[in-house]
Amino acid sequence: MRSVWLCSRNDVIGNIGVLCAAGLVALTGAFWPDVLVGSILATLFVWTGISVLREAVPAWQGTAGLG
């Protein structure tokens, strides 16, 4: 359930970030807002993936012998 929440949250943050970056690119004509938002989103997604794996691997290893 935590993974679903984190992924849904990341989707919302990603959509808002893309819209903000698009607006800033349109206003400034520069590419840096796109790069900045993309870097922030990539960092968030990697951090979220690592946190989900840290919780899932021990749980998975604990039930490996039950099947």
Question: Which tens digits make up the pLDDT trace of 4-35?
Answer: 999 999 999 999 999 999 999 999 999 999 99
Q: Are 38 and 20 in contact (CB under 8 A)?
A: no
Instruction: Supply the pLDDT for residue 36.
Output: 95
DSSP 64: T
What single-letter amino acid sits at 24?
L
Instruction: Supply the pLDDT for residue 65.
Output: 52
Q: Are 21 and 33 in contact (CB under 8 A)?
A: yes
Q: Are 35 and 24 in contact (CB under 8 A)?
A: no
How far is it, in rounded angstroms, from Cα 67 to Cα 57? 16
Instruction: Supply the pLDDT for residue 66.
Output: 53
Going by pLDDT thresholds of 50, 70 and 90, the confidence category of residue 49 is very high
